[in-house]
Structure formats: C-alpha cells, structure tokens
Amino acid sequence: MPGFEIDTSELRRLQTDLGKIPAKVVAPAEAVLKKAAQVLKDNMAAEFEGSPHFKRVGAAVSYERRGFAREIAYEIGPEIGRGAGSLAGIAVDGGANGGGGSVKVDHLLEPEAVAIEKHMLDVLGDAL
C-alpha cells in the first residue's frame, strides 16, 4: 500500500506568524484604550459639571489602568473619597430617600465603543 506525504511547512510558518501578532498589537491597542479612557473621563466629568447640584463631582472623575502585561483594562469614574466623588452614586442612581439620579453617564459608552472597535480593527489589520 503506497503512502503519501503532506507538506505542512506553510502551516507551520503561518502558526509562527500568528504567534507574533499579540506582541505587535499590545502597544497600539494600549494607545487606543488609553485615548478612549481619556475621552470617557472628559465626557463623564462634563456630564457631572453640567449638573446644578453635582458639578463638583466632575473634578473627581479619573481613570486608572488595570491588568498586567498583555491584559489591558481601564477603570473610569469618580474616585470615592476624592473631593465630591463620594456623591457620584447619588448623582447617577439617586438616594435612598429620593433625590439625585439626575446625571446620566450610560449614554457615553456606546459612541466610544464604536470608536474603539474601529481603531482596534485598524490595529489588528496593521498587525496581519
């Protein structure tokens, strides 16, 4: 019974090339996410500053990078304990006895998510 050979050298080269993509993508992806975090921070601060009752919360809005090495994440929002940052929960969700709930921040996420998706596709396209 005759045997046959399959040349897998191109698959091995593809595997090697694909393995290099994460290293190429981390720095540009970091830049995209950092810019998005800054935009969200600025927009969120503006929402608080536009409120007649919670404008001081805007100064407490910040962002912080989370994650290690290849894991990239940003936490964005008012810092509890910094200035009027502790009032953010009441400003957004309202108080236990009513009041508050007048500052809306959820609508800020969708437009920025669209921008992140576009820029990340560009980053991945450049890496491939």
C-alpha distances out from residue 15 to 8, 10, 18, 25, 96, Å: 11, 9, 5, 16, 56
Note the pLDDT tens digit of each residue in 42-81.
999 999 999 999 999 999 999 999 987 668 899 999 999 9
The pTM of this model reads 0.79
- What rounded mean pLDDT belongs to the chain? 91
Cβ(75)–Cβ(93) under 8 Å?
no
Quote the pLDDT of residue 127. 78
- The percentage of the chain sitting over the pLDDT mark of 90, rounded to a whole number, equals 65
Cβ-Cβ contacts under 8 Å for 110 (sequence gap 6 or more): none
**Residue 117 in this model has a pLDDT that exceeds 60:** yes
**Residue 35 in this model has a pLDDT that exceeds 70:** yes
Instruction: Find, among 30, 26, 120, the residue nearest to 73 by Cα.
Output: 30
Note the pLDDT tens digit of each residue in 75-100.
999 999 999 999 999 999 999 888 88
Quote the pLDDT of residue 125. 87
Tokens of 60: 């407490």
Gap between the Cα atoms of 16 and 106, Å rounded: 41
